[in-house]
Amino acid sequence: DAGVIQSPRHEVTEMGQEVTLRCKPISGHNSLFWYRQTMMRGLELLIYFNNNVPIDDSGMPEDRFSAKMPNASFSTLKIQPSEPRDSAVYFCASTRDSPATDTQYFGPGTRLTVL
């Protein structure tokens, strides 16, 4: 079975541009997470969905960030407009059932660079 799939793997954009990151969770998994990882702040949970519904978005930095999960097999994280401080590695992860106690399966990440 394929793992969590993320695209693109690398993204370089200029400040002010819109960026869309994509994630396909493992089939049959009910919870999906978006994380951001930087040297300064470490691993941060941005938002998580359960059965396609956003449950906790308290980690979303500001209104420039938005996330959607239109169906069980696809999610997007959008940044508009992007800023240099958004440069980070963004990870998507999924779990089969419980978001707190089941194993989280991480994708390979998208490395975002905003110039």
Partner 1 sequence: AQSVTQLGSHVSVSEGALVLLRCNYSSSVPPYLFWYVQYPNQGLQLLLKYTSAATLVKGINGFEAEFKKSETSFHLTKPSAHMSDAAEYFCAVPGYSTLTFGKGTMLLVSP
Q: Which residues bind partner 1 (CB under 8 A)?
A: 4, 33, 42-43, 45, 48, 55-56, 91, 93, 99-101, 103-109
- In whole angstroms, the minimum distance from the beta carbon of 52 to partner 1 comes to 16
- In whole angstroms, the minimum distance from the beta carbon of 56 to partner 1 comes to 6
Determine contact, residues 2/104, Cβ cutoff 8 Å: no
Question: Cβ closer to partner 1: 9 or 16?
Answer: 9
- In whole angstroms, the minimum distance from the beta carbon of 45 to partner 1 comes to 6
Question: Cβ closer to partner 1: 44 or 81?
Answer: 44
- Would you mind telling me the total number of residues written for the chain in this entry? 115
CA atoms of 108 and 105, how far apart (whole Å): 10
Question: Cβ closer to partner 1: 81 or 108?
Answer: 108
- What SS3 class is residue 86? helix
Amino acid 17 reads: Q
Dihedral class, residue 52 (left if φ above 0, else alpha if ψ from -120 to 50, else beta): left
